Structure 1
Amino acid sequence: MTRKIAIIGSGYMGGGIAQVMALAGAEVHIADVSYEVTQNNRERLLKEAADFAADGLFPKDAVERIDARVTAAKDIETAVSGADFIEEAVPEKIEIKHETLQRISAAASKDAIIASNTSTISIATLAEAVAAPTRFLGVHFSNPSPFVPGVEIIPHAGTHQEVIDLACAIVHETGKETAVVSDVTGFVLNRLQYALFHEATKLLEEGVASADDIDTLVRTTFGFRLPFFGPFAIADMAGLDVYNFCYQSLQTDFPQRFATPRVLSDLIEQGKLGTKSGGGFTDVPAEKIPELIAYRNRAYVRLSELLAELGPPPMS
């Protein structure tokens, strides 16, 4: 059965989500502040799809598929009528989101899942505007939504488990990956992103390095690993005892800023030092370590080759 999906807010984020949902086979209805805006945004989506297809980023028949499956609705109520899944992607202002969610939940089927693409606002706070909030959660795509593969799934305390499971399944149908996280300020993605940015600005303000040099080090060192391994896997491969020593070194000048995390100390006390001991944040059996190292080395070489093929970004 073809899913019917409504995207409320058809700008670059909502429009990109509509594109990937349509390419996954869903019937998608979009709506915005006016029918004229929605129609114009639909035309933009088709033009973008043509450009993406020409560049090999979308399937060759993307325009035809999106044209057939994405409909500009005259208003929110029309868009959500009969929808199985509704994604709100309006601007990050709580009053706009509350008003939009009230209209959505008043007009939607009682069984429809309602989601918000918010990146910062509490899901529980947004849920206050939703009738039957057990069907409500955050489904946070990242910009550019057609191409970034990770999606945060953020239930609030009252979200039903079957709603979480179905939201994940719908996202997986687009070929993207999901991570279910708690409803805390900043969720996970922005907590991590802004922690890195904050420390980068400190280094810049202190005159330790230029913005260009900081960017160079991030993208060519630990950032180079991140497409393949998250921070816990990287720590395990480096050795948690090594991480502990580095924290102690950092504490000579920054005792509060780089206090050793309790969870790291606990693992070391248990003799869990990462892959070298067969256990840490991740559990990698000793017999898998050579295979893991071989994969890591292949991945880094392939990424180097891809970057050389693409050349530097046109930033200057």
Structure 2
Amino acid sequence: MDINVAIIGSGYMGGGIGQVLALAGARVALADADAATAQANLERLLTESRQFEEQGLFPTGATETLTRNLSAAESLEQAVAEADFIEEAVPEKLELKRSILAQISAAARPEAIIGSNTSTISIADMAVAVEHPERFLGVHFSNPSPFIPGVEIIPHAGTSEQTVAAARRYVEETGKETAVVKDVTGFVLNRLQYALFHEATQLVEEGVAAPEDIDTLVRTTFGFRLPFFGPFAIADMAGLDVYNFCYQSLQTDFPERFATPKILSEKVEAGQLGTKSGGGFLDVPAEQLAELIAYRNKAYVKMGQVLKELGPAPLDSDA
């Protein structure tokens, strides 16, 4: 990965993103509120890397690679001067981000791509602070960024296709997976995450189950599937007619909260019931069904073995 990168905001998230890019071969300059903070965070990242190597979480030689590719800049201006890609990772405050982005775009080369690691703030609302806003977009890593493989790529209406393609290429060269989503409140990751959390809190408030029991059910049932399949693949395998019936049952007590999605009704009315009919959201061909089921079963067994090997998390009451 032969590019120059600047990370503006070298704290936990920004520093982790810097590790990811530097391990992939990019030359990464860290900048923060002052040079001393950037230097302290650089030293923290190298110490972390040594620990991760000892724990088998980073490959052997990772710290040597980071020592070679990571540096602390004296200033934001110095960090971005020769950068091909710049990732802003300062706290989630719109005015602060706008201020930093204005400084970045004034000091960076006009062709440099600028990304923001925001998880909630509208990309368009920040783009007004960027010179040449066609080179600006959201590049949203998840915590902890060295170990979570997915990254949201979020163009605003004025982002160029070339910028999206380049940002995806940079991220995917680190081994991460990207998904391009529209610039809407919460994007995709947090809309889904907070929808689940909202329903979980409703169950607690209604006295249906305790938080510990809800967590147990999520991680041992549908959450157990999620490392391998997203919600549409899971629905297709369960049968969209089954989902349609379950929505009708839920509406007995929660008519508005669990209104049947229009897109689901349309699929069922068209006879597209998922893998059982050879059509659905993902439209898996019938000849692939046996292979899919075999993969699913193997994946779940392997996941069970990994969880037994790791043992319960330290927050588990049985730990």
Q: What is the TM-score with the length of structure 2 in the denominator?
A: 0.98
Query: Is 1:142 matched with 2:142?
Result: yes
**How far did residue 283 of structure 1 move?**
1.2
Distance 2:87 2:20 in 1: 13
After TM superposition, the runs of 4+ consecutive aligned structure 1 residues lying more than 3 A away are none
Alignment of 1:78-157 (within 5 A): 78-157=78-157
Distance 1:59 1:103 in 2: 36
Q: Which amino acid aligns with 1:283?
A: D
Instruction: In structure 1, list runs of 5 or more residues that go unmatched.
Output: none
Distance 1:206 1:34 in 2: 49
**Which residue pairs with 1:218 in the alignment?**
218
**Which residue pairs with 2:49 in the alignment?**
49
- Secondary structure of 1:79's partner? helix
- Secondary structure of 1:276's partner? coil
**How far did residue 311 of structure 1 move?**
0.2
Alignment of 1:177-192 (within 5 A): 177-192=177-192
Distance 1:294 1:177 in 2: 24
Q: Which amino acid aligns with 1:196?
A: L
Q: Which amino acid aligns with 2:247?
A: Y
Distance 1:198 1:76 in 2: 39
**How far did residue 260 of structure 1 move?**
0.1
Higher mean alpha-carbon deviation, 175-184 vs 283-292, is at 283-292
**Which residue pairs with 1:265 in the alignment?**
265
Identical columns (%): 70
**How far did residue 221 of structure 1 move?**
0.2
Distance 1:136 1:180 in 2: 14
**How far did residue 95 of structure 1 move?**
1.1
**Which residue pairs with 1:64 in the alignment?**
64
- Secondary structure of 2:276's partner? helix
Distance 1:267 1:121 in 2: 34
Distance 1:197 1:12 in 2: 24
**How far did residue 59 of structure 1 move?**
1.1
Distance 2:20 2:142 in 1: 13
Distance 2:283 2:174 in 1: 30
Q: Which amino acid aligns with 2:225?
A: R
- Residues 195-240 of structure 1: CA deviation (Å, up to 9, x unaligned): 0000000000000000000000000000000000000000000000
- Secondary structure of 1:277's partner? coil
Q: What is the TM-score with the length of structure 1 in the denominator?
A: 0.99
**Which residue pairs with 2:284 in the alignment?**
284
Corresponding pairs, count: 316
**How far did residue 45 of structure 1 move?**
0.2
Q: Which amino acid aligns with 1:258?
A: F
Distance 1:179 1:77 in 2: 30
Alignment of 1:228-247 (within 5 A): 228-247=228-247
Q: Which amino acid aligns with 1:181?
A: V
Distance 1:20 1:71 in 2: 14
- Residues 120-175 of structure 1: CA deviation (Å, up to 9, x unaligned): 00000000110010000000000000000000000000000010000000000100
**How far did residue 287 of structure 1 move?**
1.1
- Secondary structure of 2:2's partner? coil
Distance 2:88 2:20 in 1: 15
Distance 1:207 1:100 in 2: 46
**How far did residue 2 of structure 1 move?**
1.9
